Amino acid sequence: MGARLTLATFNLHAGMDGYGRRYDVVGACSALEADVLVLEEVFSPAEGAGQAAEVATALGYRAAELRLAPALRLRQALPVPPGAGWEPARPYPRVHRALRVGARPDGPRGRAEAYEPGWWGLAVLTREPAASVSEIDLGRLRRDVTRRGALVVELPGGLRVIATHMAHSTHGSPLQFRRLRTLLPDREVPAVLAGDMNFWGPPIELALPGWRRAAKGKTWPAWRPRHQLDHIFVTPALERLGGGAVRAGNSDHLPIRASLALARLTSDPSSRRE
């Protein structure tokens, strides 16, 4: 691992909006200018390359991916009325939504041909080849549509990147945070926990003692951000050099990016950024 790096996390929503209108995923990821890129809600079709592989190939990353649930993605966008926003003002019934997570591979009744089957999950993209890749199983909550997990990628210099996409708090995600806490690296290890956590920062800091937010900025909903649900947490072994939410793509979440350095560089004034 180099002395400094930029890490970003971005929930792609399968590369489309609530009507199924596609956006340029590769272009959005390129705009983040990240050394390490954590992606949630990546879509991998049953046939052909998935979004993580496409971004990695186009931008020179290595990709590690964790599939969490079968999913269906609209092949063509739904009719969009004039002046429409990111999604229908009155959401379509679940069987007509642009992205259906946990859906049967044969598709909604009477509309199977309208959907592309595939997988929904997480990915970590790195410039350097990973020294190791592993998974943390966080199980499935009764009200959730999918199991949850974390993807752990260790880089050759010792940095550990843990990517996750937590359930909603109304589904009981504090139980998963409690499990995750027991499986995270010690605070002496340089490590990053990043992803769409569907929860506010201060309660997560209480749930994960010793982990600190590396960047702050409202990320959801993207068209009028009111909450920060997407986070980058670090151990004290890493120094936070700044960061925040970024405008890129057309997901319902904004990406968030942070600049980091090994904490041993904190005594060197030249290592700091304003």
Task: Concatenate the DSSP letters of all residues of 142-160 into one string.
Answer: TT-SS-EEEEEEE-TTS-E
Residues of the chain with pLDDT under 50: 265-274
E strand segments, the chain: 4-11, 36-45, 62-74, 99-101, 115-126, 132-139, 148-154, 160-165, 191-196, 212-213, 230-234, 238-245, 256-262
Structural domain harbouring 263: 4-79+88-271
Give the pLDDT of residue 89: 79
Would you state the pLDDT for residue 251? 98
Count of domains for the chain: 1
Return the DSSP state at 238: E
Query: What CATH number is associated with residue 255?
Result: 3.60.10.10
Q: pLDDT at position 97, please?
A: 86
- Cα gap 126→152, rounded to integer Å: 12
Could you tell me the pTM of the whole model?
0.92
pLDDT tens-digit readout, 53-65 = 999 999 999 999 9
Please state, in angstroms and as integers, the Cα–Cα distance from residue 88 to each residue in 96, 98, 151, 250, following that order.
11, 10, 33, 15
pLDDT for 269: 38
pLDDT of residue 120: 98
